Structure 1
Amino acid sequence: MTVAAFTLGLTGGIGSGKSTIANMFAELGAGLIDTDLIAHQITGPDGIAMPAIEEEFGSEFILASGAMNRQKMREHVFSKPDEKNRLERILHPMIRAATESAAKDTPGSYLIFVVPLLVESSSWQQRVSRILVVDCPEETQIERVIHRNGMTRAQVVAIMQTQASREQRLQAADDVIVNQGDLNEIRDQVRVLHRKYLLYSK
């Protein structure tokens, strides 16, 4: 794909603050492409993935709005690797195509791809110039997601166990933003990295 000379992959565990930090970079002029948002669009009402999902999994996974029933699908594939692979075979090529299309049309001094499972994906690690990990203590992640999504602690922990560990993400990182919840402190970290990325993008 033809994109900016410098591209950044931004990732972090659930509840780490990826979206908040990505938006801070966007305010400074970076182009933003959120693969989670793309996934929601293609599985929303009239989304391009919906006919294949209905054919593969059945109408019981489709809401009256025409969107994928995410909660039902999440419960269905959560502990079934084969079913998860079936879903990913539908979604991943479509997400990749939509991402590549967006990369050609998104303005910015450089491009940031927000990819929740970047460390888990060897292909994504090869497609970006640098990897930025948003890091915070696991207990903080759990508390944030419980507060934000209304999940139980057990549900949040179960999701985290399907993701790369904190140590694995930090090992893959070229840069790290530590999110302790202080927005001013985070903005300072973002500004420092933004200046560095502008130099890389020249």
Structure 2
Amino acid sequence: MIAMTQIIGLTGGIATGKSTVSKMLAEAGLPIVDADKIAWQVEGPGQPTTAKIAAHFGPQVLLADGRLNRPWLGKKVFSDPQALAELTAITSLPIQYAMLKATVAAGKTRPSAVILDVPLLFESGWQNVCDQVMVVTAPADVVLQRLMARNHLSKRDAQARIASQLPLAKKVAMADVVIDNGENVDKTRTTVLKWLKTINY
């Protein structure tokens, strides 16, 4: 009898360290379907979705080489909920389709699990296709400092980005597995390795 591949949703709040956990899972041999990487492909130069974004938000959203001007777009949508909803309406279906194709391809290798690495997993409904959902957390003050340093943001802009997402506490309440990434990497790795044993990895 061949064991079924489990689909594990991986998410967290912005700057909680989801990418750190994703890297650990990849190092353990699990395939990662990364929503951010897929979004960059779908929204790349010359792509239909990129053209739709430019048609909606204006030519200033594009750089000279056809790439999205992500700093400009990010500042606009994270300070305007309506603009964020409009961008999501343009990009969500193409990204979801590309993710489903990538998930099916990963599942054909028959691993014990495929990881869906999705920052806005609950917001976009991906929990409905997952066998388990893992949420990565960190204290609010740590998250704020990480985000300001990582993205070179003011405190106000960083708080706006955090506020644009579903509150972390609500994500934790809906999680099957919670990974605390607020202290040190070694402790996080220990928690991840302990979880891996539960899926008969």
Q: TM-score normalised to the size of structure 1? A: 0.89
Question: What letter corresponds to residue 116 of structure 1 in structure 2?
Answer: P
Question: What letter corresponds to residue 115 of structure 1 in structure 2?
Answer: V
2:200 partner SS = helix
Counterpart check, 1:111 vs 2:101: no
RMSD of the alignment, in Å?
1.7
Q: Does the 8 Å contact 2:9/2:130 carry over to 1?
A: yes
Question: What 5-or-longer segments of structure 2 have no aligned partner?
Answer: none
The share of aligned pairs that are identical, in percent, is 32
Distance 1:65 1:176 in 2: 41
Distance 1:81 1:158 in 2: 10
The number of residues matched between the two structures is: 195
CA deviation profile, 1:37-77 (whole Å, cap 9, x unmatched): 11122223233421222222222211112111112222333
The residue number in structure 2 matching 1:43 is: 43
Q: TM-score normalised to the size of structure 2? A: 0.89
CA deviation profile, 1:142-173 (whole Å, cap 9, x unmatched): 11112222111111111111111121011011
Distance 2:177 2:62 in 1: 40
The residue number in structure 1 matching 2:8 is: 8
Question: What letter corresponds to residue 46 of structure 2 in structure 1?
Answer: D
Q: Does the 8 Å contact 1:10/1:131 carry over to 2?
A: yes
Distance 1:86 1:169 in 2: 23
The residue number in structure 2 matching 1:137 is: 139
Instruction: Tell me how far 1:20 sits from its aligned partner.
Output: 1.0
Distance 1:46 1:103 in 2: 24
